[in-house]
Structure 1
Amino acid sequence: MLIKIDFESETAIYIQLRNEIIKGIAKGELQEGENLPSVRQLAGDIGINMHTVNKAYALLKEDGFINMDRRKGAVIGSMKNMITDEYKEKLNEEMDAIIAEVYCRGMSEEEFINMCREKFKLYK
């Protein structure tokens, strides 16, 4: 899996890394039970600090995308039953902010929904 990090982005590198790994899982590039690179290896490959990779892995673990094993390291977890009330609440809050910005910028509902549909198709 190719991880793309934009060092000029305003989005923190650990968030970009987290998002890239989630995209890899959604696209089937990373499978349940598959090992991710060690913190040291991934940091070296990308050219970032090990603490940044640790932070991304910690978020992925907290959100249930990976499991940490003392012997195997970071392992892709099961994607079954990941929809929780807590997740729905978080998603609703994030969507509210995105839709408010879309509205303020003058994008139509139809254009926004079509954009969402196109993005969703990338993961089918």
Structure 2
Amino acid sequence: MLLSIDFSSDQAIYMQIRDAIVTGIASGKLQDGDTLPSVRVLGSELGVNLHTVNKAYQLLQSEGFIDIQRRRGTFIKAGKTAQSTAAFLRKYGVPLKDMVHAAVTERVDRAVLHKMIDHLYDELAGTE
């Protein structure tokens, strides 16, 4: 798997792994059903701890981008929803991160931020 890590970056390594896989899905380089390397193999290829790779995989699974099947492997779930989400995150991930950073800096409570986002989403989607 062609994935590069910038060890001098301020971004956590597990997030770099996650972002590279999301970018692969958004660009179409990673297709639905493609197999990802095992945690141990990818960790060895990248020269990182297997727990770092596992953290990235767990995050990707919670976001719906991959399916982890014990003893079978880890597979891309790049249906239209995953591709759309990947493209959205690639386009708006940095501004969203900046907004959350500002909220943390201003000490806005996480629950309040979630409620604000939920309210805006419902308002704009017409589900309010």
**TM bracket (short chain):** 0.5 to 0.7
TM-score (norm 2): 0.64
Identify the residue that residue 106 of structure 1 maps to in structure 2: none
The offset of 1:28, in angstroms, is: 1.4
Identify the residue that residue 16 of structure 1 maps to in structure 2: 16
Corresponding letter in the other structure for 1:81: T
The offset of 1:95, in angstroms, is: 6.4
Asked if the contact 1:67–1:75 (Cα under 8 Å) also holds between the matched residues in 2, the reply is: yes
The offset of 1:72, in angstroms, is: 2.1
Q: Map 1:42-81; keep pairs closer than 5 Å.
A: 42-81=42-81
Other structure's SS at 2:75 match: strand
> Can you give the 5+ residue segments of structure 2 that lack an aligned partner in the other structure?
103-128
Would you tell me which structure has more helix in proportion to its own residues? 2
Moved over 3 A (4+): 81-84
The superposition leaves residues 34-67 of structure 1 with CA deviations (integer Å, 9 ceiling, x where unpaired) of 1100000000000000000000000000000000
Identify the residue that residue 36 of structure 2 maps to in structure 1: 36
Among candidates 88, 93, 96, match of residue 94 of structure 1: 96
The superposition leaves residues 72-100 of structure 1 with CA deviations (integer Å, 9 ceiling, x where unpaired) of 2210013333579xx99x97x816628x8
Asked if the contact 2:33–2:77 (Cα under 8 Å) also holds between the matched residues in 1, the reply is: yes
- The count of corresponding residues between Structure 1 and Structure 2 is 95
Judged with a 3 Å threshold, the aligned counterparts in structure 2 of structure 1 residues 80 and 14 are, in CA distance, closer, same or farther, namely same
Asked if the contact 1:5–1:13 (Cα under 8 Å) also holds between the matched residues in 2, the reply is: yes
Q: Distance in 1 between matches of 2:78 and 2:24?
A: 14
Cα RMSD, aligned residues only: 2.8
